[in-house]
């Protein structure tokens, strides 16, 4: 089973990690599109272009059976077009886990950290409005420009990163938000910093396990082999080798490509 996974940078590796731990007999190919990062500050048309080119690269080079769009921003902007253009390809997206966050929250005050593009997505807005009314919950949204770049640099708990998080999270802390949706695959990497700034053991909701479960459901019949998985990582620009090793807890050789 060949699966292509992509994100604008390191964030999608948080999903790769869970897939490696829970799936068997899968050959994974990961593209970190760092030459065009961050996606969250690009136009919808640009993101569709990046996503389409990467998908075609996967098909041409690796004959993938399934695609995981390991990026909330790319999912919001491009997944509809990808499914229309590649109707025979299994395509799995990444969306903010707003519903599980609402069901978990005791205070009925839920925060969401995401990129501007994700928060402006029509599908997300419809889901937010529907769930807010249905469950009578207050949703505190916060775009986090610059946070992806900090994470890509490995600055997970530096004074600058903590200062950015303080500015974004202070209103949530004061409002008694007890659950925060991590609406970008990069953000689990600063989970401990978020808890530090919130000054409580706030529940953080990310979707790597839900995505892995969906891959298993859709691809199970094709994953006959019970042997281990393999992973090859590609990057379109600069990427931190040390951060990759930290996330995946082992060393991988990175191939630089042009798409």
**Residues assigned a catalytic role:** 71, 184
Q: Which residues contact 193 (CB under 8 A, 6 or more apart)?
A: 156, 157, 161, 162, 165
* H-only helix segments in 36-158: 44-62, 72-85, 98-104, 116-119, 122-135, 147-152
For residues 164-193, one letter each, b for 16 or more C-beta atoms within 10 angstroms of the residue's C-beta and e for the rest, the string is bbeebbeebeeeebbbbbbbbbbbbbbbeb
Helix (H) / strand (E) element for 198: namely helix 191-198
- Of 69, 96, 95, 73, which is closest to residue 82 (Cα–Cα)? 69
């Amino acid at each position: 089973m060949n699966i292509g996974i992509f994100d604008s940078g390191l964030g999608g590796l948080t999903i790769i990690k869970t897939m490696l731990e829970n799936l068997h007999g899968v050959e994974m190919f990961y593209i970190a599109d760092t030459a065009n990062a961050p996606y969250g500050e690009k136009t919808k048309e640009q993101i569709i272009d990046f996503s389409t080119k990467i998908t075609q690269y996967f098909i041409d080079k690796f004959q993938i059976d399934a695609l995981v769009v390991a990026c909330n921003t790319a999912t919001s902007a491009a997944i509809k077009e990808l499914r229309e253009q590649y109707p025979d390809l299994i395509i799995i997206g990444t969306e903010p886990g707003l519903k599980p966050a609402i069901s978990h929250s005791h205070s009925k005050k839920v925060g969401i950290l995401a990129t501007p593009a994700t928060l402006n997505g029509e599908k997300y807005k419809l889901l937010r409005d529907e769930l807010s009314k249905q469950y009578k919950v207050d949703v505190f949204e916060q775009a986090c420009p610059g946070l992806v770049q900090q994470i890509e640099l490995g600055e997970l708990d530096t004074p600058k990163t903590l200062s950015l998080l303080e500015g974004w999270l202070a209103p949530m802390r004061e409002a008694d938000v007890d659950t925060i949706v991590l609406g970008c695959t990069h953000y689990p990497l600063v989970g401990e910093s978020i808890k530090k700034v919130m000054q409580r053991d706030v529940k953080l909701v990310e979707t790597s396990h839900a995505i892995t479960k969906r891959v298993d459901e859709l691809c199970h019949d094709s994953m006959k082999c019970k042997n281990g998985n393999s992973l090859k990582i590609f990057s379109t620009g600069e990427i931190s080798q040390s951060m990759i090793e930290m996330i995946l807890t082992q060393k991988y050789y990175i191939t630089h490509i042009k798409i």
